[in-house]
Structure 1
Amino acid sequence: MDAILAAQPDFHVLVIDDASPDGTGALADERAAADPRVHVLHRQGKEGLGKAYVAGFEWGLAQPAGYTHLFEMDADFSHDPRYLEGLLRACTEGRADLAIGSRYVPGGGTQGWPWHRQFLSRGGGLYARSILGLTIQDPTAGFLCFTRAVLERLDLRALATRGYGFQIELKYRVVQAGYRVLEVPIVFVERERGQSKMNTKIAVEALWKVIELRARG
């Protein structure tokens, strides 16, 4: 959060803690007590990535501060805070309703990934684009900037995917609703700490969710 606030001093940061056993929640509470720009949302347990993001969006929309744009990003430095300005500019100057930090447009890329992660990411994106008819080059991206209006008008509770397929479903719903989407190039760097939560169960759920979304039209 220090890096985010150093890059964008006017931003507020929400940390979502799903009863993490490593002390993340307590540390975040300490920071929030010392800095009014830092907030913490505690949840009782892990309900999946999608549920956590929906809870964060709903929290942001309910705040009296009246946030005009809401971001989602990973907190392990795979999403570099220096890209926040470009994503915000895509919405304010480029008039995007959703700006995506994209690895797969000119100027974007990944750093430190083994070949099998490259294959899984690119293959999953190609699969989603083919089945759903998306033109988004990085439909599984998780570094996003939304205008407030988009999140207010989407039925967030109707988003059914719990795992990483949530990223695809959310973008698909935005495109279906006719909103303007822009992709901003970023370089995704392998996380500095921790391990990816991606596993076979999550990957299979994402594959089936794409088929389900297509069937529902």
Structure 2
Amino acid sequence: MSKIADKTEATTHSDLAKGKEHCVKTGRVLVAIATYNEIENLPNLVERLVDTLPEADLLVIDDGSPDGTGQWCEEHAKMNARMHCLHRKGKPGLGSAIIAAMQYAIDNNYDVMINLDADLSHPPEKIPDLLEAWQAGPSESTVVIGSRYVPGGGISGWPMKRHFMSRGINVYTRWLLWLPMADCSGSFRAYPVHLLRKIDFDSFLSYGYSFFEEVLYHLKEQGATFVEVPFQFVERQHGSSKINMRKAMVAVWTIFRLGLNAWRPF
């Protein structure tokens, strides 16, 4: 852990905001949501997103949901010019869906991409806080993490086993990949598109859940500054979680492989 301390440390939004004025203008914002069978959650989420960020664009990446999520997205997009739908066949992985969103943000010259889950566990009303933190720092290199594990953050609705697994994977990731933030495994984040342009997505080892740890590693290598904004995570009320023990073990193994590269010079 001493080697982690030698690296640039992540800060919290409250640290960064002291004595600073926040800019209102945030540039072009893309909100990206990966979906699979989220018809019970997506309409509610989209309504809240539009209320919170009426000038942001919304991209839904749907992996052929049999419950009609993709069809709902297409119908809603006809009424909302800011909504876009990307349909993919099969289930190539959550990480690959986020990569597709990042590539869309790059190709369409957005300034910042917000990622959040479709299951309402990430409050869209908190996104302005992420954008404020992004604006407060160097906007081309500041990655903002919605964090469950800094003061003010928290988790509601998880059994003790899930808490233990999440804490464990974060300690494991911070040590192996020398990452400075408290929450490495969450997906509620703001990414500056300028920094995403520098990443070679073809070099990624993970296209599943460990993508969220791996992308932080690559962003750190490109000189990212990390800021953590606390939020209250609420376990989904509708639908079922997509993660299982097999996927969790694949994530652990992928992070280990990536860690071998991170420690190789030593």
1:190 is aligned to 235
Q: CA deviation at 1:94?
A: 2.9
Structure 1: segments with no counterpart, 5+ residues: none
Q: Is the 8 A contact 1:19 1:42 kept in 2?
A: yes
Question: Partner residue of 2:180?
Answer: 135
Correspondence list, 1:127-166, <5 A: 127-166=172-211
Residue type at the aligned position of 2:70 = G
Q: 1:87 aligns with which of 125, 130, 136?
A: 130
Query: Which residue number corresponds to residue 105 of structure 2?
Result: 60
- The runs of 5 or more residues in structure 2 that have no matched partner are 1-45
How far apart, CA to CA, are the structure 1 residues paired with 2:204 and 2:114? Answer: 17
Q: CA deviation at 1:197?
A: 1.2
Q: Deviations 1:89-135 (Å, cap 9, x if unpaired)?
A: 11111335210000000110001111111111111101111222221
Structure 1 CA distance for aligned equivalents of residues 180 and 101 of structure 2? 27
1:9 to 31, 54, 79: 54
Relative to structure 2, which stretch is displaced further, 187-196 or 17-26?
Answer: 187-196
- Alignment partner of 1:153: what SS? coil
Match of 1:203 in 2: 248
Indicate the residue corresponding to 1:39 in structure 2. 84
- Kindly state the Cα deviation for residue 192 of structure 1 after the two structures are TM-superposed: 2.3
Which of residues 143, 148, 172 is equivalent to 2:217? 172
Q: 2:29 corresponds to which residue?
A: none
Q: Report deviation, 1:78.
A: 0.2
Question: In the alignment, residue 113 of structure 1 is paired with which amino acid?
Answer: W
* Normalised TM-score (structure 1): 0.96
Q: Which amino acid counterpart does residue 75 of structure 1 have in structure 2?
A: A
Q: Distance in 1 between matches of 2:89 and 2:255?
A: 29
The separation in 2 between residues aligned to 1:160 and 1:153, in whole angstroms, is 17
Separation (CA, whole Å) in 2 of partners of 1:161 and 1:206: 8
| RMSD of aligned residue pairs (Cα, Å) | 1.1
d(CA) in 1 for partners of 2:156, 2:137 = 27
> How do 1:89-128 and structure 2 match up within 5 A?
89-95=132-138, 97-128=142-173
Look up the equivalent residue of 2:50 and give its one-letter code.
Answer: L
- Report the alpha carbon displacement of residue 202 of structure 1 after superposing the two structures with TM: 1.1
Does the Cα contact within 8 Å between 1:17 and 1:41 map onto a contact in 2?
A: yes
Kept in 2: contact 1:54–1:157 (CA 8 A):
no
Q: Would you say 1:72 and 2:115 are equivalent positions? A: yes
The alpha-carbon deviation at position 86 of structure 1 amounts to 0.7
Return the TM-score normalized by structure 2.
0.78
Structure of greater Rg:
2
1:27 lines up with 2:48 in the alignment: no
